Every structure is written in C-alpha cells, then in structure tokens.
Amino acid sequence: MSANRWFATGNFFSAYRDEQRIFATHLDRAIFATFLTALFVWPLCFEVSSKNMLVLDNILVAMVAIIGLNLVTGFAGLISIGHAAFVGVGAYTLALLARTIGDSHVLITHAWPLMLLGCGGMGALFGAFVGLPALRLKHLYLAIATLSFQMIFQWTINFLPMFNQGQTISIGRVFWFGGEVSRKDHYFFWYYVALTIVVVFGLAVRNLLRSRYGRSLVAVRDNDRAADAMGMHPGLTKVYAFALAGFFAGVAGGLHAYLYRGAGIESFTLQQSITYLAMAIVGGLGTLTGAFWGPAAIRLLDLQVENLVEWLTAIMPANMNLATALKPLTFGLVIVLFLMFEPRGIANWWRICRSYVKLWPFRY
Amino acid sequence: MNSLVVSDVTLAFGGLYALSDVNLTIQAGLITSIIGPNGAGKTSMLNCISGFYHPTRGAIRFGERVLTRASPHQVSSWGIARAFQNIELFRGMTVLDNLMLARHRKLDYSFWHAFIYMGRASRQEAVNRAFVEEIIDFMELEPYRKHIVGGLSYGVQKRVEVARALTLEPQLLLLDEPMAGMNIEEKEDMVRFVLDIQKERHTTVVLVEHDLGVVMDISDQIYVLDFGQLIGSGRPEEVARDPKVIEAYIGEN
Ligand SMILES: Nc1ncnc2c1ncn2[C@@H]1O[C@H](COP(=O)(O)OP(=O)(O)OP(=O)(O)O)[C@@H](O)[C@H]1O
Ligand SMILES: [Mg+2]
C-alpha cells in the first residue's frame, strides 16, 4: 500500500491482506465512523416525537429482516414468499414464552438480548426445516414451499388457543441498567438496540459475504452444477441459506415483539411477506446496502401515500374507495418500475455515486 | 498417484445407449485422449466419472475410491476436477471469485471466524488468494483478474474454466473440448497449457477433443468411442492406423 492512505486514486495494494480491508482508505473509514456517530447522537440533540421514533424503529427492524431475505433471495437466488412467517416465528417464540412463564418474568424483561438470540435460533431452525425441499426442488417449486409455510403459519396461529388465536399476546417492559425502560423512553431505547443490531449484523454479513460461506451462496445462485463440481453440496448450501435468512428474520421478530410489547398475527401475514420482497427488490437484490435502502424507501413511501390518502379523503369524502386503493396501487407500480428500469435497486445508484467520488478528481 | 479404471460401464437413457460396456484405464501422470464423432458418448463418459451421471451398469474406480455412485462434490474433493464442454462458469462473478470458489474445500475456517474475519479466516483467505494468483499466473489470466466472466471472450472463458479446475489442485483433470471454437493462436496456447499441466503440475490429464492433429501430437494414450462403444485404443500411431477408427471417421464424413 502506498503512503497516502486517504485517497483511493493513485493507490495500489501490495499484499493480499491489504485488499481484504472493508474500508480501503482512511477517508472511507472516517466517513463511516462519522455517519455512525451521527446516527447514535442525533436523537439526543433534537426533540423527536414518539410517533416518528416508532417509524424509525420500524425501519431498523425491517432492515434486520431484509438482511436475511436478501441473503436467501438476493445472494442465493431462492425466492422466499414466507419471510414474514419467519419473522413471526421469532415474535411468537417470545410470545409463547411470555404466555408460559408470565410476560414480566425476569428472563423476558432482563435477559432480552439472550431472548433475541433465541428468537433468531428458532427462526434458523424453522428456516432450515422449510428449506429442506431445496435438496430436491428448484426455482418456483421451492418458492411454493415457502408460500405453504406462510399459509400453515397463519393457520396455526389463527386457530390454536395456545397462540391466543392470533390476538395480541402481550410482553412486559424490559429493564436496562437504569431500571425499567419507561413508556417515554421505550421507542428511544429500542432505536438504540435495533441500530446496534443493524450495525453489528451489517458488518458481520459484510464479512460473511467475502468468506467461503458467502461465496457459496452466490455460487448456487449462478450455477449449481458448477458449484457441485467445486465441491459444494448445492442442496445443503440452499438449506443453509434458508437457515441464515431464518435467523435474521427471527431476531427481527423478537425485536418487533419487544417494540410493540406484544405479538399478533396481523404483522406476519402474506401481505407483509410481499412487502418484505418489495423492500428487497427496491433496495437491490444481492447487495448488502440494498437491505438498508429498501426498508427505508418503502416505509417512507408508505407514509407519503398515507398522507396523500388523508388529504384526498378530506377533499372528496365520496371517493373513499379510490383513496384506499391508492396504497396497493402505488406499491405495485413502484415494484414494477424498479424491476423494469432498475433491477439492481437503489443500491446501484449508491454504487454509481460512490465510484464517482472514489475516482475524483478523475472522470474514470 | 492414482489411476482411474472404468470397467464395463453402460449408460442408458431409456432405450438409447450413450455408453455400452466401455473399459478404459487412465494411467497416472499421462495425457489420455478420448475421441470419437459427435454423439459418440465422450461427454457422457466424463459425466459418469465426475458424478453428474451414474452408470446403469459397471464400475468406476480411482485408486481405492469407488466413484460409481458418488456425487460431483465428492468426486471433486477426491482429486478429480473437470472443465465443461459448454462453459459452466459463475457468469456474474469476477475471474478471481470464480477461482476462489474452487478453494472452497481448502478453506476450513469456521462459520464464526467468517463473521469476524480476523485471524484464521483472514489468514486462510490470503494464503488461498496467493494460490489462486499462482494459477492466474500459470494460465496467463492476469489482465482479466477483476473482470466479470460473462463479459469475456469465448476463448478466455474456456481458459478460465481450465484455470478454475486447476485451482482445485486435482490429481486428475478432465478437459472436455478445451480448444473448441478457438482460433489457431488460442489453440496453440491451450496446447502449451495442457502440456505444462501434465509436466510441471504433475497432473494426469484426460482430454476430449475433436482436433485430431492436436490429439495425435500430445496424447500418450488414445481411446476411440463410436455410438457408445469403444472401437479402438492405443498409442497415437497405432490408433491412426486402425482400420475401424479410420472407418468411423470417414463414415462420419
Ligand atoms: N441427459 C441425457 N438424456 C438423454 N440423452 C442424452 C443425455 N446426455 C447425452 N445423451 C445422448 O447420449 C449420446 C452421447 O452424447 P454425448 O454428449 O456424450 O456425446 P459427445 O461424444 O460428447 O458428443 P459431442 O462431440 O457432440 O460433444 C447422444 O446421443 C446424446 O443425445
Ligand atoms: Mg461432448
């Protein structure tokens, strides 16, 4: 590596270890650190309403889920139409425990980081199980398997008294070093937890993707005959991809349950699975940053449409139907537009911006 | 080093016999060619050896190992690598990533190390990256290291195929028409690579090739297939004189 580690231009690597760095220059590292600090500090500097904080929490939780979905669908190329159900598995792991041992049991209120990992573990187990058909099936057939899991999940939750037949099962307030997290601080607290998880998982997955465990995912997507010839078991690799996605979904589910202080079926329906797919597509399938762009973009769009609907109903109350139809319509339109014009998602715009800046002051 | 023994292998697709009672011995350290007209069963033979097809009857052994029912990932981990006739690369990846994938089994750090990517993981990646670089050097792929494979010319893609198979560090390398569709210059390069693979890298080579000039020049042993049957075998000069072989080839024209 040459002397100036601040700019990319004019630099070259002289050891393979140098090339392994996530941040090639000090400048990249500094920008990333500043950005992270800003994310952690800003809620302390500005007055944020709980409502807005909830929106952010939601986005962060969705990011955790989409990191998982992106691994299985984007990187490993296996369409999953049941991702919300895996998130549900995480949430209901916690809910079921709360129902059995009481919603304010120490385990739930104090050992919540452990609980979140447990939710992830359960998600991974279910993911691996649902992924088993990958040993035999391919493409659409496999997608159908995930869809049936979604259906079975909804059915099970809705009909079994054990799960309160889909009605909300409540979960107690958690404790932090300062004692119980109060109503006022609740959303701020989970903002920090979710943000930390997103950052840690983001870096971990970034590492995973440049290791043998990440490359094998892309290998079975690109050409599973060749993957086989390279010594990978294509079927097992796919099962592993589903387990991995299940883990992230499970953690997201646990977070969701804590955030809303309960779990109910309406957050884990087929429609939510499709929303997750939309987030992954809009963000950019098969890119890590896509998992961050997608949820943010879709949730913000969601809010805008809600505002528009409100405004429309105010000026023409007779046209209620038009207004309610607007949401799925915009939604569908955005997905189709992205698939047609930018299948690589918002992440691609980000990539273009970055490479432009990186090469500065040269054009190419 | 191990020899590969194919005994009485028959491969049937319904009523069609792609291979019938074929016997071959691939001796360690040599270049053995399998030739024959189109549809003779050459690719089917390689598919049986590498585990993509399983013979209907017969057995295939590599040293002590029985390959007859093994799957491709097992066969490749036992030291038999293959380059495909119809290029089967990871098209969306760079040349480098394609070759790194061939090191999958050689990298044995744990999943948790991969997450942290320090110590073992990072060290092994660097060591294997150096090995990949050696192969890139050997196959003269330096200019394409970071190119996406799908965008490279056909001839270069063929070369990447061979490079990727070599990256598996095989004892036995199966090459399915590595020179097909190449111009004279690329062909000469490939011939040189094949010879170097045998001599410098001490790898046994099985070559399936239509260019008889090349085959006669570089093979130590030749097997001739026609309609799934072995119709001749021997040293190049013996095969060239064999009336049955000449007939099969003239019959084709
Ligand atoms: N999967 C399959 N299903 C049915 N028939 C097959 C299959 N694979 C090969 N065959 C048939 O087996 C015969 C031998 O095919 P193979 O590909 O082995 O020929 P080849 O010698 O490699 O020919 P070429 O020189 O054209 O590559 C052909 O008649 C082919 O149609
Ligand atoms: Mg062939």
Query: pLDDT tens digit string along B50-81?
Result: 999 999 999 999 999 999 999 999 999 999 99
Assess whether pLDDT exceeds 60 at residue B10: yes
Q: How large is the average pLDDT for residues A232-248?
A: 97
Q: Which CATH number describes the domain made up of B1-79+170-253?
A: 3.40.50.300
Domain ranges of chain A: 46-269
Assess whether pLDDT exceeds 60 at residue A10: no
CB contact (8 A) between residue A16 and residue B126: yes
CB contact (8 A) between residue A228 and residue B73: yes
Nearest-CA neighbor of A59 among A300, A344, A304? A300
In SS3 terms, B130-172 reads as HHHHHHHHHCCCHHHCCCEHHHCCHHHHHHHHHHHHHHCCCCE
The pLDDT score that the predictor gives to residue A328 is 75
CA gap B124, A239 in Å, rounded? 25
Is there an atom of ligand 1 within 6 Å of B38 CB? Answer: yes
Q: Which residues of B touch A219 (CB under 8 A)?
A: 90, 101, 104
Query: pLDDT tens digit string along A172-217?
Result: 888 998 888 888 889 999 999 999 999 999 999 999 999 999 999 9
Is there an atom of ligand 1 within 6 Å of B36 CB? Answer: yes
Query: pLDDT tens digit string along B115-144?
Result: 888 888 999 999 999 999 999 999 999 999
Q: How large is the average pLDDT for residues B133-161?
A: 95
**Mean pLDDT lowest for which of A160-174, A184-198, B154-168, B196-210?**
A160-174
Assess whether pLDDT exceeds 80 at residue A231: yes
pTM attached to this predicted model? 0.92
Give residue B86 CA to ligand 1 midpoint distance, Å. Answer: 12
Domain ranges of chain B: 1-79+170-253, 90-169
Q: How large is the average pLDDT for residues A93-106?
A: 92
**Cβ neighbours of residue A161 closer than 8 Å, sequence gap 6 or more:** none
What is the residue-averaged pLDDT of chain A? 89
Nearest to A207 among B73, B88, B114 (CB): B114
Q: Are B212 and B245 in contact (CB under 8 A)?
A: no
- Chain A to chain B, count of Cβ pairs less than 8 Å apart? 102
Output the residue whose Cα is nearest ligand 1's atom 12: B18
Q: How large is the average pLDDT for residues B196-225?
A: 94
The pLDDT score that the predictor gives to residue A4 is 62
DSSP states of chain B: ---EEEEEEEEEETTEEEEEEEEEEE-TTSEEEEE-STTSSHHHHHHHHHTSS--SEEEEEETTEE-TT--HHHHHHTTEEEE-SS----TTSBHHHHHHHTTTTT----HHHHHH--THHHHHHHHHHHHHHHHHHHTT-GGGTTSBGGGS-HHHHHHHHHHHHHHT--SEEEEESTTTT--HHHHHHHHHHHHHHHHTS--EEEEE-S-HHHHHHH-SEEEEEETTEEEEEESHHHHHH-HHHHHHHHHH-
Q: Is A229 on the interface with B (CB under 8 A)?
A: yes
Q: How large is the average pLDDT for residues A71-90?
A: 96
Nearest to A213 among B50, B73, B111 (CB): B111
**Backbone Cα Rg of chain A:** 22
